[in-house]
Structure 1
């Protein structure tokens, strides 16, 4: 049985190994990594699933901001990566991690964004690309995979950037 714990309770090396298994060692070149450069994962929104065999999955969230072309900046939380050990994929562990994170984020009324499968994240978690058409990122992205969720998600044009002035708390 998997136990949900704060990601801080898991060794960084174990999380990095899991991410390499799930996404490959070249994952650091991806746009999501550029977007969170220089930030620290938000501990109250980042979790791990640990079982008898060790780390089964993890989710991390990061502070970013949307700098609107209208001059208004707005904080957002970048969700991901969500990683499940290959031997444990397709068993609902990713959904369990997402639900834990969403419960914590909803309690704080946070606006979220991610880069991911629109059908999956839309159907199960309420993410859409409806507001993100004018968003710019520090790297390439398939527009339909740029998703957001929240009551005050910005709908205009602007640039997403790391929010490096945030302490490691949401």
Structure 2
């Protein structure tokens, strides 16, 4: 069994090693890193999964925004990366991390928490209510597959614009 704790309670080097194991050491070149560049994870939405004291999963959420082509900015939260140790996948760790972040985001205490977005596999993230219904006119600062740009929440903006870090 695993416990979910604030990400700050996990050693930073263990989190980095987990992310490397889950996504590869070249992960820093991905578009998702450019979207959230220069921001820090939202502590209230970032968790670690510990099993017998060992890090087996993590989720980080980031303050981002859609700068709308027609003017204005919409605060959002970028979910991910969600990482699970390759040896502990398919036992519910990733689902538990996602549910916890979505639950806290839905309390109304986090700016942008009613407009969650991520880049990920729609087949997996559909179970959490993510889809591409609102994201068709969004742009990102790098290459991405449109079908993998997903959002959920009543405030997810269905308009054209550029997604980037929110100060």
**TM-score of the aligned structures, taking structure 2 as reference length:** 0.95
Number of the residue aligned with 1:149: 152
Secondary structure at the aligned position of 2:135 is classed as: coil
Q: Which residue, 102, 121, 125 being the options, matches 2:125?
A: 121
Write the mapping of 1:151-166 to structure 2, written as runs, cut at 5 A.
151-163=154-166, 165=167
Number of the residue aligned with 2:141: 138
Asked whether the 8 Å contact 2:63–2:78 carries over to 1, the reply is: yes
Q: Deviations over 1:97-153 (max 9, x none)?
A: 00111110111252100001112111x100010110100001001000000001011
Write the mapping of 1:1-170 to structure 2, written as runs, cut at 5 A.
1-52=1-52, 54-108=54-108, 109-122=113-126, 124-163=127-166, 165=167
Could you list the runs of 5+ residues in structure 1 that have no partner in the other structure? 166-170
Number of the residue aligned with 1:168: none
Q: How many correspondences in the alignment? A: 163
Q: Deviations over 1:5-28 (max 9, x none)?
A: 000111111100000000000000
Secondary structure at the aligned position of 1:148 is classed as: strand
Asked whether the 8 Å contact 2:67–2:74 carries over to 1, the reply is: yes
Secondary structure at the aligned position of 2:154 is classed as: coil
Secondary structure at the aligned position of 1:128 is classed as: coil
**Pairwise CA RMSD of aligned residues?**
0.9
Secondary structure at the aligned position of 2:131 is classed as: coil
Where in structure 1 do 4 or more consecutive aligned residues deviate above 2 Å? Answer: none
**TM-score of the aligned structures, taking structure 1 as reference length:** 0.94
Asked whether the 8 Å contact 2:114–2:156 carries over to 1, the reply is: no
Secondary structure at the aligned position of 2:106 is classed as: helix
